[in-house]
Structures are given as structure tokens and as C-alpha cells.
Structure 1
Amino acid sequence: MEVLRTVAEHQALAAAGVVLFFVLRRWIAFRTVVGAIGPNLPGYRSLIGLPIPLPIRRIPGVLVTGRWLWEQRFKPYEDAGVDMYTMGMVFPTARAGLTVGDPAVVKEITMSRQRFPKPTRIYRVLSVYGPNIVSSEFEEHKKFRKAVAPSFNERNNRLVWDETVKIVLGLFETPDWKGKSAVHIDHCIDITLPIALFVIGAAGFGRQVSWEDDDSTPPGHTMPFKEALNIASLNIHVRALLPKWLIALRSTWRHANIAFDELYLYMKEMIQDRKTSLENGEHVDLFSGLLESADDPVAPLTDDELIGNVFIFLVAGHETTAHTLAFTFGLLALYEDEQEKLYQQIKSIVGPEGIIPGYEEMQRFTYSLAVFYETLRLYPPVTTFAKYAAEDTVLTTTATNPDGTHYPKQVFVPKNTNIGVNVVGLHYNPRYWDKPNEFRPERFMGDYPRDAFLPFAAGPRACIGRRFFETEGLAILTTLISRYKIKVKDKPEWVGLSVEEKREKLLQCRPIITLTPQQVPLIFERR
């Protein structure tokens, strides 16, 4: 008995020694990587660092997740007194990185692709169906960009505008809207999401879906297209990170897995339908160039590459628009004076008949674009994007003295250092945006600090679908505001709150793939 106890004690000591050795090695590695970056640069240290946006608050010194950057906005830079700070974690791997909120530094990083490439390993989660334009870099990225670039032209922008206006007007003719003086919506996404899906289907793949058959399940499928895409886009981490045996243990994960399989079938059908249309010489839509590139003799796309890029365009083409418009409608409901300014400009253009003009008149809706941009500044779809240093280098950022004056500060950046371009930090930087927390669309009616406005990324990797997104968003915003006034659907607990306090409640959100509103209850009153 005594021998067994002695053996057990030795085993316990050995196990403790192994754990201690592991922790010590990890801590030494952590101190090494943190110390390699500018030693006088302030920063945050945490035992555990997870890039995914878990619904968990930061525990100082213990845990930080991807959600923290969004919640803090510019505050870490104010605390540090410099527009760049370090982030160091011990687990799951010992690493340190820079988080940048300085427009000049961000411009240098985004324009220097060879010095600061994209760490594609971080974006593998988006390759659930195959390589794509978002998860790739260098030659592979050039191949994908070349394949899709011809489709983003003025002819197809006109198609996007026309289809969007038609779809929104169709919404007004549905039983839930037609003849009603007011429409109550529990979550604004319930209307912005299907609108965006219909637009990407019609303008992207020639897939006409009416409001009547929105929720129908076609033969050969087990769930509607809208449901499959929505579930898949919200559960990419399930498919990409969890083993099949673990997915099988939870019903919501099993349902998400089914949605991915269903979406794959839908995409295959959409691709085949568009290929058949092209062979028959029918109308060429937005993504015909992508489909034709599959047979390019010089740089053909594999089936996985084709499906992977279709998936990215479906997600980016519906989720970004739907979420941004939900934030836009919520802000306009809160700030009634701004909504009235927007309505008066729209009214002056559409006239008493209320006829929405064609795409060629889009540039006249200047306040619509200003409202859209201000929403993107306050609630950018992507709150941060990643780069890394391919070589030892030095970056010069801006630091602040105690008296408020600024001075240049050089930071040594070792090779392989992770760099987070903090879009939220840029958009809330008070040196470039006066009263950055306020909703003030007029900032975009004249000159504005373009290098501090990054909702579409920048440089060679700037969003290729920016014009598509703007055209669709302005068409939806203009058409809806011309007919309806938006109000907040108040909850009892919101009574007596200030506008800013109510905004915190109404527009609660968290970053998933894009910044996602939790619930935006609104009322649409017929004008």
C-alpha cells in the first residue's frame, strides 16, 4: 500500500513538473516576443487571447476576445497616449502583435503588400467551401480578382439599382405592408436580410425570387435558400473548426451542418443555371465573369475555387448590406432631425409623384450617401483586419504628450509580428473625427479624412464590390425613406432614456463575420 502511495505521489510530482515546464517555456516565449516589439510601447497583456468574438467580457490580465476591440473603440489609444499599442497573450500560443489606429501607419501597411501581407491562415475559416478572394494572397488572390473584376462595371451597377428598387417596391405590395398605415417589425433584419438576398440573387445570378415564395422549400431540398444561407453565415466556425463527432453532439450544430450541405446544393444549382443561360446567350449578370473564368485556358478556376468564391460573394453580398441598413434605419429612427433632412432631399429629387429615378441620377442623392457613410463609420462591417510584417521594419506613429501636443514615435516591428488594422480605432479617432461618437452625416457632405475611413479596406485589397454595395444600399434607403418614416418600437424599459442611452440598447451588436445587430425593433409609418 505504501509503495502504491509513493508511486502515485511521484506521478503527481512528475505531472506537475511537466505542467510547470510547459507554462515556464510559454511564459519565456511570451516575454521574448513582447520584448522584441518596441519596448517603450504601451500595451495589454493577457493570459488567454482568443481572436473569435465570444460573448464573454474581457477579464483584465486573464482573458481577451475579438469582441473587446469593438467595445473599446478608441479608448485603448487614449489610455496609451499613442495611436498604436501592443497586445500580448500566453495561450493558446505565446504571441504579441500591434494594434494600429493611426491613418498614416495604416496607409503605409495597406499600400505595402510585400512588406505587410495578409496572414491567410487566420482566414481559413472562410474557406469552408474552397479557396476564395478573401482567404487568399499574392498570385492566388490576383487570379481570383482578375476573374471577378470584369463583372463589376457600370452596366451591372445599373442592373443592381433597377433590381433593388423593384424588390423594395415589391415589399410594399405584400400583405404585411400594403394598405397599412404602420408596419411593426421586431427585428429590422427581418426585412433587410431578404431584400439583400433577393438583390444578390437577381443581380448576381439572375435568380428571381418573389416575396410570396420567399420561404418555400424547392424539391430536393430540406430548407429554403434564405434559411440555409443565414444559418451558414452565422455558424462558419462550427463547420470550419469542429470535428464531425463533436457537431453530432448538439442539435443546433447538427442543424448548422445540414444548412451548409443545403447551401452547397443551392450554389451548385445556381452555377449550373447561370452556365446554361450563358450557353443560350441569355442576359449576362454580375457574376457571369466569375463563371466564365472556370473555363479560362490560362488560369482556370477549379470547382472548389468556383464554389468558394460564390459563397464569399453570397455572404458579403447579403450580410454586409442587411446589417448596415439595420444600423442605418435604427440611427435614423433615433435621430429624427437627420431623418427629416434625408427625406427632404429625397423628396426634392423624386418629386410629388414619388417616382424613384434611374441609376444615372444616383449621384444626386448626396445626403443618402452621407447617411450611409456615417453609419459605416460608426458601425463598420469589419471591425479589424489582419496583416503581418514580412521583414524587420520600423513604423512611425503619433504619440500624445500630457499637455495634449503630439509628436512622432518610432516603433521597431520584428519580422512575423502580427498587425491588427483597427478599423474601429480609426473611425473613432478624435484627431480626425470631431465628436466621433455622435451621428453626424454632414461630415461626409464635404471633404473628410479619407485615410481615417476604412469600411472597404484599402490598397490592392480594397473591396472589389464597393460600388455594388453602395448602389444597392442607396437604392434601398432612398426608396424606403421616400414612402415611410421610421420610428423606434420602444420597449417598456426604454421609457425615459436619453437618445444616446436608447442607442446603446437599440443597436447592441457583436462582431461575427461582420458586425451583427442583436435586435433592432422599428416601426415604419406610411408618409
Structure 2
Amino acid sequence: MLLFQTLFRTWLALVAFYIGWTCLALLRNIRIAKATGLKYVVVPWFSYNALVSLFMRRVFLQLLNKVLPQSSEASVTSWRSLVTGIWPLRFRHAPFAAFGTDTFLAVSPGGIILNTADADVVSQIAGRGDDFPKPIGIYRAVSIYGMNVVTSEGEEWRHHRRLTSPAFCESNNQLVWRETIDRTQAMLVLLLGRYTSSKTVQHLADDVMRLSLEIIGNAALGQKILWPTIEDGEEPETQHLKAGHTMTFSASLGYITTNMIFMATALTTFPLWLIKRIPSARVKKLYEAYDNWKRYMQDMIAERKLGLHSENGSPQNIDLIGQLVKGQVKNKASARGGVTQPGLTDTEVLGNLFVFIVAGHETSASSLYMTILLLALHPHVQKHLQEVLEHILQGRPPSEWDYEQDLPPLMNSFLTAVWNEELRLVSPVLSIPKVVASSPQEVLINGRYTILPPDMTIRLCVSAVHVNPKYWSHGPPSDPANPIFCHDNLDNDMEEFNPHRWMRPEASPLPTPEWDSFKDGSMPNTPTSGTSSTQRYNRLRFPTKGSFIPFSEGQRSCLGKRFAQIEILTALAVIFSQYSVELAVDDWANDEEVKNMTRVQRQETWNKAAKRARYNWQNKLTCAITVQMASSGHVPLRFVLKGQERFFDLD
């Protein structure tokens, strides 16, 4: 009894100490927040503390919402919403509008988060990388194979950036172009062959994910990952399992990419020796995939080194792994010659390749899928895009397209406007975290200079600034009764898919004969000297600096931006230069029934499919590492040759 009383008193003392410490920490942080002069909301825990946040959201918050549900009107500024890390996906710019400011603080006992949808604040913070570094601890999930350009900071980051940047060179861009044309055509052949009876693709997201994996597999690694044949439906590699491996290259990489969160959590929480011994089928599969892919990559790195020594850097080394290894060998040679610039270690090469492949393939696939879905949901936009593609490509098949001739006009046309608008509506990332350096930093906020204290966390709210009406051309909503995101921008069309907002008003409806070429992925600002402005100018609007950041901004902007641009724009051009994509209506009518419908009946049937697609767009977006459509939110689509559309004549 005495022991029980002692333990109980000890427990009470610990609880009292924790509550007291929490209250004191919260009061201290509230005092710091008040000193900034910014508006703030008090939240009970720090959302960037992963374990605490996960427990509190899954247990405490769910229970509280069941017992004391809150109204939707109050939810946009409630601590229950703003304490989560994914509120920018659901509420977008609405909390900022409700607070009457584009920058506010979330204050908790564990820390203070500055949330901003102010383009000028975003630009200041992104442009001062040393003053506002990345909180690299958040990115442990992508360092499971080694340190890389994403998970490093300071001089270590500069080392990685210097040695990885050359890998994204023009020769690699041309490889991406060729591979995208080739593999997208292969995907279309498979889809149209697989669905000969209905032409309906039930889960296009899976096919597009595979397409992106193929493109990046060859452009990054020189590793062919081919589509299964229509006849047998089997993976070509299953008959060619490499000696010493228990999984094929594509199978191990596929498992990693589809189980990324689970794998990262396990590998950053437990040592490998323990993971190998955990008696769980899923954990064993996890380690098998992790180990197989690592050994495949180590073999590839070793082979490339031998190839470089024997072939002196032949053109076959233009893929990413070839370029990284080439830089590694050259830097080591320079170091032996007296220049102290060591190259990346094998582990660092592996770590960077993992980031490029996993992050690149998932984000590109998701963005491509959602662009196709939006075009199916907006046939009038799709028709205009097809007119533009016809004007640029003159009906030539993709096999005759030329990188130097055709890519610049494609990137400077309505095609880019379509993709930019998808990125504006659904950026691959919800927010970009930063942290104030070890000394106070001064930032101009709301017209006055504000001192931000050391170690304050900053959240650049990508989803919010992308729909902040302060920075974008907009008009009244086209359908006020059906907003995409129900809490935000109800009096304008900022939540609607309207690629025309990206086009300069003076631009002609179709592209002009001559184009500015550019190599770095940026758009030209002025006409070429000596050329009439009606022939050579940039047809796309330039958004306000800091208002469009799907690839971040400043020195930490995404290295793979140009890779993604070429891959996605080329894939879209291949698809929509030959085919149209419609919402499938199989759940309401078969092909023969649609054929015999009146125009009014077809309109009613299409509206049902559109209603389902809009519902999924509103309710099925989710975020793990990147934003994507949940598997339960798939929208059946139908690929048809241009001219065979069934619903494009509707309003």
C-alpha cells in the first residue's frame, strides 16, 4: 500500500510538473508572439512535433470533435483546424481572409509557427537562405539511403548542390524528352488495347504513376522499366531476376514508392539490425525492398565508374546517375591534382538519386494525372489546347517531333498555362517549412519591419498564396453553387480551373510562327532585338514574385523543375495531340445508349459524371509526402481519337 501511494504521488508530481512547464512555456511563447505585433492564435501542441501531433490528432482531437462538434463557420480560425499540418489543403486562404491578414502566428507550448500567404514575405524568406534555413529534421524520411541535397544545409548543402546541379544538364533534358515521347505512346497503346470493349480507364492514376516511373527510370538510371505486354500482363523483368537478388529492380522500387511513409518511419525509428529481426511479414518485405534496391544502385554506381574509366565519358552517360558519377570521378581527380574539392561519396550519390527518383516520380505522376482529370472536366479548355497543339505541331506524329524546334513553343504556349493552372490549384506540396536562424531576423510584414526571434518555425503556405486574390487575375465565380473548396474565395473564381488567366491579354489566340528558345526552364521577358513584337514575345503572364511557388523559390528551389516541365508538358502534348479524354459515363449508360441519346439526355448524363468528379476533387485530395488523389477518389476516364468525342458539343 505504501509503495502504491508513493508511485501515485510520484505520478501526480510528474503530471503537475509537466502541466506547469507547459503553461510556463505557453505563456513565454505568447509573450514573444505579442512582441512581434502580428495576429496570433493559441494552439495546444506544436504540429511539427511528429509523434505528439500524430497521437493528439488521432486520439484527443477526434474524440473532442465527436463530443463537441464545431460549426463549419468557426472551423477556419479554430485551433482545432490550425493545429494540424494539413490545414492549408482544406482551408486554403480562408483563415487568412478571416483573420484579415496574410501572415499570422500559431502559438503553442512547443514553439511558434509563422504562417504566411503574403507573396512579399514568401519572397523575402525564400531569398535569404542563410537567414531562414530549412528545418532539416523534418526531412529525415528522404535520407534513408544517405545525406542529399534536400536533407542538408549550410556548407554541406552547397557541396551537394554544386555537385548535383550539373546532372540536370541539357543532354539529360533531351533524354527526358525522347523517353517521355516513347513511353507515353507505349502507355496509350496499352490503354487502348486493354480497354477495347469500353475504352474506359478505371484507374488512370496507376497507369500514369507507372509511366512516370518508366521515364525517370531510364532518364535517371538508364534502367529500362517496360510496360507489360497486353497478352500476358506480366512484368518483363520477372524472367530476369539478377543473381543475388530476391526482387527485381522495378519491384523493389515500386514497393518503396508505394510504402514510403511506412518505410521512412521504420528506418528512421529503428536500427537496421532490429528491423531485419522483427517477425512481421510487412516489415520483412520492407527490408527486402530496401536492401534489394540499395544493392542494385550500388552495382550501377560501380558499373558507371568502370565505364567512365574505360570510355572516358561517352554519350551513354547522359542520364542522372552517369552525370553524378562523372562529377564524382572528376572532383576526386581534381583533388589529387591539388584542388581540394572532394566529390560526393557513393552513399551521397545513392542518397541524391533516391530523392530525385522518389520525389520526382510521385510528384510528376500526380500532377500529370490531375491535369488530365481537369481537362476531362473542362472540355472547352481541352478543345482550345488541341487547337494550339495542332498549330504548333502541324499534325506531325510524335516520332517526328524535334527537341530544339518543338519544345520551346510548347513551353511558351497555352500548354504551359494549363499545367501552371493545375499547379496553382493543387501544388505538389502544401507548405514549405523554414526556420529563423540562430539570431533574430528582420522581415517587412504588413508594411512594417518585424523582428522574428531565433528558432521560430515558418510555414510558407503554398496552397494559400496560390489562391490569394490579391496576386491573381480573377472574375466572379462561374458556378457559385458548386465551389471546389467550400471555405475559400466564394466571391471569385480563384478556386476554378481557368488556364486563360495565365495568358497575356494582347496575345493572339494561337501561337505565332517564331519563338524564343530558352534552356534553363525560365521564360523570356522581352522580345528579341530586331524582331517584331507580334512575332516574338512571351505569351504567358509572369505572376507576382513569391505568389507561385510549386517548386519553391530562391536558392533552395527544386533542382528537378526543368526535368518535370519537360516530362509533363511532353506527355500532355503526346496525349492531346492525338486523343481526347472524356469523363466516362459507364455507371449511367452504355455506348449504344449514349449513341441514341438526345443532346439534352447526353448533357444530363455527363453532368452526373461531372458531379462525381467534382466531389472527388473536393473531398478526396490527400497528402502524405506530396498532395495526390486518394485511391478511393479515382475518376473513370475514356480515351478516344480526336473527332470521336461524345460530349464535347455540350455547354
TM-score in same-fold range (> 0.5) = yes
Q: For structure 2, which runs of at least 5 residues remain unmatched after alignment? A: 66-77, 229-233, 333-340, 475-492, 505-540, 589-604, 642-651
Equivalent position of 1:22 in the other structure: 18
Say if 2:327 is the partner of 1:327: no
Equivalent position of 2:285 in the other structure: 255
Following superposition of structure 1 onto structure 2, how do residues 46-61 of structure 1 map, counting pairs within 5 Å?
46-51=43-48, 61=79
Q: d(CA) in 1 for partners of 2:41 and 2:585?
A: 39
Change (3 A) 1:146 1:182: farther
Say if 2:577 is the partner of 1:479: no
Equivalent position of 1:197 in the other structure: 213
Say if 2:408 is the partner of 1:369: no
Q: d(CA) in 2 for partners of 1:260 and 1:159?
A: 28
Q: d(CA) in 2 for partners of 1:250 and 1:23?
A: 38
Q: d(CA) in 2 for partners of 1:48 and 1:465?
A: 34
Change (3 A) 1:197 1:7: closer
Q: d(CA) in 2 for partners of 1:328 and 1:492?
A: 23
Which one of the candidate residues 245, 264, 269 is aligned to 2:299?
269
Name the amino acid aligned to 2:45. Answer: I
Q: CA deviation at 1:209?
A: 2.9
Q: For structure 1, which runs of at least 5 residues remain unmatched after alignment? A: 399-407
Following superposition of structure 1 onto structure 2, how do residues 274-423 of structure 1 map, counting pairs within 5 Å?
274-281=304-311, 282=314, 283-287=316-320, 288-295=322-329, 296-297=331-332, 298-355=341-398, 357-360=401-404, 361-365=406-410, 366-390=413-437, 391-398=439-446, 408=447, 410-423=449-462
**Deviations, residues 104-152 of structure 1 (Å, cap 9, x unaligned):** 0111111112211122222222211110000111211111111122222
Say if 2:252 is the partner of 1:228: yes
Equivalent position of 1:158 in the other structure: 174
Taking CA–CA contacts closer than 8 Å with sequence separation of 6 or more, which of the two structures ends up with the larger relative contact order? Answer: 1
Q: CA deviation at 1:337?
A: 1.0
Q: CA deviation at 1:492?
A: 5.5
Q: d(CA) in 1 for partners of 2:441 and 2:431?
A: 22
Q: d(CA) in 1 for partners of 2:254 and 2:84?
A: 24
Task: Give runs of ≥4 in structure 1 deviating > 6 Å.
Answer: none
Contact kept, 8 Å, 2:46 with 2:111, in 1: the verdict is no
Q: d(CA) in 1 for partners of 2:286 and 2:621?
A: 21
Change (3 A) 1:345 1:496: closer
Name the amino acid aligned to 2:150. Answer: V
Q: d(CA) in 1 for partners of 2:615 and 2:86?
A: 16
Name the amino acid aligned to 1:482. Answer: S
Q: CA deviation at 1:95?
A: 1.1
Which one of the candidate residues 490, 509, 514 is aligned to 2:621?
509
**Deviations, residues 433-469 of structure 1 (Å, cap 9, x unaligned):** 2232011111222323242000111111111221111
Contact kept, 8 Å, 1:205 with 1:274, in 2: the verdict is no
Secondary structure of the corresponding residue to residue 43 of structure 2: strand
Name the amino acid aligned to 2:463. Answer: V
Change (3 A) 1:427 1:290: same
Equivalent position of 1:469 in the other structure: 564
Which one of the candidate residues 414, 432, 449 is aligned to 2:471?
432
**Deviations, residues 240-281 of structure 1 (Å, cap 9, x unaligned):** 443265893654444333322222123223323433443443
Equivalent position of 2:502 in the other structure: 444
Equivalent position of 2:112 in the other structure: 96
Q: d(CA) in 1 for partners of 2:124 and 2:255?
A: 37
Please tell me the root mean square deviation across aligned C-alpha atoms, in Å: 2.8
Q: CA deviation at 1:491?
A: 8.3
**Deviations, residues 458-493 of structure 1 (Å, cap 9, x unaligned):** 111111221111011111111011222212345869
Contact kept, 8 Å, 2:150 with 2:355, in 1: the verdict is yes
Which TM-score applies when normalising by structure 1?
0.89
Q: d(CA) in 2 for partners of 1:226 and 1:489?
A: 31
Following superposition of structure 1 onto structure 2, how do residues 55-204 of structure 1 map, counting pairs within 5 Å?
61=79, 64-90=83-109, 94-174=110-190, 177=193, 180=196, 183-204=199-220
Secondary structure of the corresponding residue to residue 628 of structure 2: strand
Q: d(CA) in 2 for partners of 1:84 and 1:158?
A: 42
Equivalent position of 1:405 in the other structure: none
Q: d(CA) in 2 for partners of 1:374 and 1:222?
A: 43
Contact kept, 8 Å, 2:184 with 2:211, in 1: the verdict is yes
Contact kept, 8 Å, 1:43 with 1:80, in 2: the verdict is no
Q: CA deviation at 1:409?
A: 5.1
Name the amino acid aligned to 2:165. Answer: A
Q: d(CA) in 1 for partners of 2:401 and 2:361?
A: 24
Farther-moved stretch of structure 1 (276-285 vs 383-392): 276-285
Q: CA deviation at 1:214?
A: 4.2
Secondary structure of the corresponding residue to residue 173 of structure 1: helix
Farther-moved stretch of structure 1 (181-190 vs 359-368): 181-190
Change (3 A) 1:238 1:119: closer
Q: CA deviation at 1:216?
A: 3.0
Name the amino acid aligned to 1:299. Answer: P
Q: d(CA) in 1 for partners of 2:12 and 2:195?
A: 73
Which TM-score applies when normalising by structure 2?
0.73
Q: d(CA) in 1 for partners of 2:191 and 2:460?
A: 46
Secondary structure of the corresponding residue to residue 525 of structure 1: strand
Change (3 A) 1:374 1:246: same
Farther-moved stretch of structure 1 (170-179 vs 33-42): 170-179
**Identity score, percent:** 27
- Hey, which of these two has a bigger chunk of strand by percent? 1
Q: CA deviation at 1:19?
A: 0.8
Q: d(CA) in 2 for partners of 1:11 and 1:445?
A: 70
**Deviations, residues 212-248 of structure 1 (Å, cap 9, x unaligned):** 3746342343334334324323334333443265893
Name the amino acid aligned to 1:210. Answer: L
Contact kept, 8 Å, 2:376 with 2:582, in 1: the verdict is yes
Change (3 A) 1:73 1:165: same
**Deviations, residues 167-222 of structure 1 (Å, cap 9, x unaligned):** 11222333753794853323222221121111112222222232237463423433
